[in-house]
């Protein structure tokens, strides 16, 4: 490590403070002037985001499973919030949840003899 002269001290302090602020921003997850998360995604970006192939995503959009946007008439865009909502709506109950629902139903609707 090289020696820092007294004249270089203010410049080095400014550099050090800038680096500490960047680290703090990364650690806290705050974004000041950094890149914002895109709301509108292309087919490639949406497929990557969902973890599926482009062809599977095309099938889903053509069948109307997912809403799409075509501002120019040709390119397909998807909203991140629409994707999140669709993915959240496809929840499957766990075996214990199904068992609990069955037990609740039996308690509320006993067999009539």
Query: According to the model, what pLDDT value does residue 34 have?
Result: 54
pTM of the model: 0.53
3-state secondary structure the chain: CCCCCHHHHHHHHHHHHHHHHHHHHHHHCCCCCCCCCCCEEEHHHHHHHHCCCHHHHHHHHHCCCCCCECCCCCCCEEEHHHHHHHHHHCCCCCHHHHHHHHHHHHHHCCCCC
Task: Give per-residue pLDDT as tens, 16-66.
Answer: 888 888 888 777 766 655 556 788 999 999 999 999 999 999 999 999 989
pLDDT band at 1, cuts 50/70/90?
low
All domains of the chain in start order, with CATH = 40-89 (1.10.10)
């Amino acid at each position: 490590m090289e020696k820092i002269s007294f004249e270089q001290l203010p410049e080095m302090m400014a550099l050090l403070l800038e680096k500490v602020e960047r680290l703090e921003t990364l650690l806290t997850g705050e974004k000041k002037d950094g890149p914002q998360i895109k709301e509108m995604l292309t087919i490639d970006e949406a497929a990557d985001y969902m973890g599926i192939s482009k062809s599977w995503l095309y099938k889903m959009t053509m069948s109307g499973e997912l809403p799409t946007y075509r501002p120019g008439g040709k390119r397909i865009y998807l909203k991140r919030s629409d994707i999140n909502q669709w993915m959240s709506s496809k929840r499957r109950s766990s075996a214990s949840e199904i068992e609990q629902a069955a037990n609740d139903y039996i308690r509320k609707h006993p067999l009539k003899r």
